[in-house]
């Protein structure tokens, strides 16, 4: 899996951080990339989030600012992703770089409310 995660992203610097099943953070010469396996992406990400990733083999890779989309969406079902996120920055990136997504999601709160069933 290490070769599959790293091969086409330029100079691989050797760091792969496993975040959760099918979710990784990789370090390349181009900077950190958030990596999501296609099975996780298909099951848990919106069309907009899937399309904003760079597909390489069986993974979608997200640099800056695109990683805000999968981080926002995966944080709903993966508490570890929620815990890693700087929500002020995630929401700022969504608002500034993905205004149509921001409007469609009605993101008018400072931070999403997860884990609250009612």
Non-local CB neighbours of 106 within 8 Å, separated by 6+ positions: none
In a domain, 112, yes or no: no
Number of domains in the chain: 1
Q: What is the pLDDT of residues 67-99, one digit of tens each?
A: 999 999 999 899 999 888 888 999 999 999 998
In a domain, 92, yes or no: yes
Instruction: Tell me the whole-structure pTM to 2 decimals.
Output: 0.77
Supply the range of the domain harboring residue 79. 2-105
In a domain, 9, yes or no: yes
In a domain, 116, yes or no: no
For residue 113, pLDDT beyond 70: no
| Exposure of 106 in the CB half-sphere (CA atoms within 13 A) | 0
In a domain, 111, yes or no: no
In a domain, 74, yes or no: yes
CB crowding 66-95: b at 16 or more within 10 Å, else e: bbbbbbbbbbeebeebbeebeeeebbebbe
pLDDT band at 108 (very low <50, low <70, confident <90, very high): low
For residue 41, pLDDT beyond 90: yes
In a domain, 114, yes or no: no
């Amino acid at each position: 899996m290490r070769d599959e995660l790293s091969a086409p992203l330029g100079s691989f610097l050797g760091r792969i951080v496993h975040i959760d099943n099918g979710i990784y953070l990789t370090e390349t010469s181009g900077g950190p990339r958030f990596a999501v396996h296609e099975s996780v992406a298909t099951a848990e990400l919106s069309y907009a989030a899937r399309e904003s990733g760079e597909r390489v083999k069986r993974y979608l890779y997200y640099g800056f600012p695109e990683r805000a989309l999968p981080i926002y969406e995966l944080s709903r079902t993966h508490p570890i992703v929620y815990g890693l996120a700087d929500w002020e920055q995630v929401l700022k990136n969504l608002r500034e770089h993905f205004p149509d997504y921001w409007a469609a999601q009605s993101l008018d709160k400072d931070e999403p409310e997860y884990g609250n069933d009612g």
